[in-house]
Amino acid sequence: MKKIVLPIILLLSLFTSCNTTRKLYESQKYDQVIMTAGPRAVAGRASIEEMELLAAAYHQANQADHEKILALKATGRPDVWPEVFERYTSMKGRQDILARLPKEDRKRLNIATLDIDDELKGAHNKAEAFLIAKTQQLLSTQNPADIDQAKKLTHQLMRVSPNHPQIGTFQLMAMLRQAPQLSTEFEYNDRRHPLPPQFEETVITFDEEELSKFPLGITNTVHPASMVIEVVEVNVSPNRDDAVSFKESIGRATATVTDHTLNKTATVKAKVTFYFKDPESVTGTDWNVLVFPEYEASSKFNYSYSTLEGDRNACSDQTLERLKQPAIPFPTDESLLLDAAKELNDMIAKTLMK
């Protein structure tokens, strides 16, 4: 009995698959034909009729995209390039699916390799350039409609170039323009290395001139927003005195001169996270999270002076000039860290003033 049931089930499955493929094809849903029938054809489980429908869908979809691309290019408008790129991408995707068919099947179905790599790359570059330039232009206005359009273009940029660094910047710029205010929090969790007093205040307090340049709430749309500044690493180098000694002499007068170069550096690494509520953001969630992880601020102390043992009359004019520079002590760790905190504050302010 099993020997009879299994072939019947297989035939019914093939019939159902072919019937579904035919309905999709007749509805001109060509890409759905390729997505559903393509994997079966590659696995050798498609009927002859389904294979022919698959090939016909491939040619029809590519022909439609090719004609639309020509029409778009003929307009000469820069805003057509995102769609041109998406259509080239669709053609490339179809080809990649059917490229896995056996060579004899591709030949029988007249599925030739399309040489569109250069066109795809060129369309990508032009689409990316248009989206970046237009989004920057829209974000520079105070028109709520322009901000909303800029967010839509950022969505497109994410599809064209998912890893482009401007995506996060555009999200932030739109968020600031639609936030009435920006609450700020500070985090530091390494209790083994306490920060000096006033460090937190130095990082999160912006001066009046900077605050006046933050584009908060310039549109009528209001979305709550907050910023968390988390210091993730703090380093202070040891005091370093690079000393080099040499002798000078004029006649019988001699002297030993030592040149000192003092170095010390404090480095602070931080990440800044924005939480904001925008149902139409790129992430499309109820509460959105935007992270900028690569802030590194430093304060470097570098000072040179010279000391003398012996007769000053043995020294050259150049050495005598260097000897005028007095010796000074190394700065404290706390003072360098506060300088680095101020630099971190300035870096964040520049981000918020975009």
Give, in degrees to the nearest 5, the angle at Cα 16 between 11 and 21. 125
The mean per-residue pLDDT over the stretch 189-203 comes to 93
Reading phi first (left if > 0) and then psi (alpha if -120 to 50, else beta), residue 237 is in: beta
How far is C-alpha 344 from the geometric centre of its chain's CA atoms?
Answer: 20
At 18, the pLDDT band (50, 70, 90 cuts) reads low
pLDDT digits (tens, 9 = 90+) for 212-230: 999 998 887 778 899 999 9
- Amino acid found at 208: E
**Higher confidence at residue 114 or residue 307?**
307
Q: Would the pLDDT of 158 be above 70?
A: yes
How far is C-alpha 165 from the geometric centre of its chain's CA atoms?
Answer: 3
C-alpha to C-alpha distance for 8 and 64, rounded to whole angstroms: 39
At 281, the pLDDT band (50, 70, 90 cuts) reads low
Q: Would the pLDDT of 188 be above 80?
A: yes
At 282, the pLDDT band (50, 70, 90 cuts) reads low
CB 164 within 8 A of CB 146: no
Task: Determine what percent of the chain is predicted with pLDDT higher than 90.
Answer: 70
The mean per-residue pLDDT over the stretch 332-350 comes to 97
Backbone angles phi, psi at 198, to 5 degrees: 75, 0
114-121 long-range contacts (CB < 8 A, ≥24 apart) are: 114/62, 116/88, 116/91, 116/92, 119/88, 120/85, 120/88, 120/89, 120/92
pLDDT recorded at residue 8: 44
pLDDT digits (tens, 9 = 90+) for 323-338: 999 999 999 999 999 9
CB 190 within 8 A of CB 234: yes
Model confidence, pTM: 0.78
**Higher confidence at residue 218 or residue 83?**
83
Q: Would the pLDDT of 2 be above 70?
A: no
252-255 long-range contacts (CB < 8 A, ≥24 apart) are: 253/310, 253/311, 253/313, 253/314, 254/310, 254/311, 254/314, 255/308, 255/309, 255/310, 255/311, 255/312, 255/314, 255/315
C-alpha to C-alpha distance for 124 and 159, rounded to whole angstroms: 10
pLDDT digits (tens, 9 = 90+) for 115-149: 999 999 999 999 999 999 999 999 998 888 899 89
CB 228 within 8 A of CB 275: yes
Q: How far does the chain reach from its first CA to its final CA, in angstroms?
A: 75
- Amino acid found at 1: M
pLDDT recorded at residue 217: 84
Largest CA distance in the chain: 120
Reading phi first (left if > 0) and then psi (alpha if -120 to 50, else beta), residue 24 is in: alpha
Distances (CA, A) of 278 to 165, 177, 189, 224, 348: 21, 12, 30, 8, 22
Q: Would the pLDDT of 291 be above 60?
A: yes
CB atoms within 10 A of CB 142: 10
Task: Determine what percent of the chain is predicted with pLDDT higher than 70.
Answer: 93
